[in-house]
Amino acid sequence: MSAESVRAWLAENAPDLRYIEANDTTATVETAARTLGVEPGQIAKTLAVRAGEHLFLLVARGDARLDNRKCKDELGARPRMLGADETFELTGHPVGGVCPFGLKNPLPIYFDRSLQAFELVYPAGGSLNTSVEVPTDRLFELVADRWVDLCRLPDEARGAEVAG
């Protein structure tokens, strides 16, 4: 159902985008980058996060990590990534296929500024072997509520982190 909801959403809202069904898994940043032949940073991972009263999806570059301090500074609370069952119930997508398209429930979608380093990114497509090729600016126009600074890159000073 999840991949179908993404295909239906894309057909209605962005039929020009390339939907990729791979023979290999794209469920992790590393496997998606290898399967698609791109660098890990170009994988636009989508995380389901709760920070205090805020429940949202965060789309960030694949090699960025959610940073507790930045999240607390921006949203007033430490972030907690939702578990697999809660993520599926909320989005309709399995972990490894979570994306900002074809959601089961409407959610705020924040884009981490780390994505701005790439003109073209690859979010998941609703299953463990699908992705969408999309220009970053277009992806933002289609689904995002706002840009945020909630992540740090691998080469930035290590701070308290939640996940990546």
Whole-model pTM: value is: 0.91
Mean pLDDT score across all residues of the chain: 93
- Supply the pLDDT for residue 160: 47
Four-way CATH pick for 2-152: 2.40.37.10, 3.90.960.10, 3.90.1010.10, 2.60.40.1260: 3.90.960.10
DSSP symbols for 5-57: HHHHHHHHH-TTSEEEE-SS--SSHHHHHHHHTS-GGGEEEEEEEEETTEEEE
Is the pLDDT reported for residue 40 higher than 90?
A: yes
∠ CA 22-98-30, rounded to 5°: 55
Residues 6+ apart with CB under 8 A from 143: 100, 101, 109
145-156: per-residue pLDDT in tens?
999 999 999 887
∠ CA 28-158-71, rounded to 5°: 75
Domain boundaries, the chain: 2-152
Mean pLDDT on 61-83: 95
Is the pLDDT reported for residue 42 higher than 80?
A: yes
Mean pLDDT on 28-46: 96
Mean pLDDT on 52-75: 95
* Stretch (H or E) spanning 123: strand 120-123
**Entry field: residues in the chain:** 164
Contact 102, 126 (CB under 8 A): yes
Structure tokens at 104: 């089961």
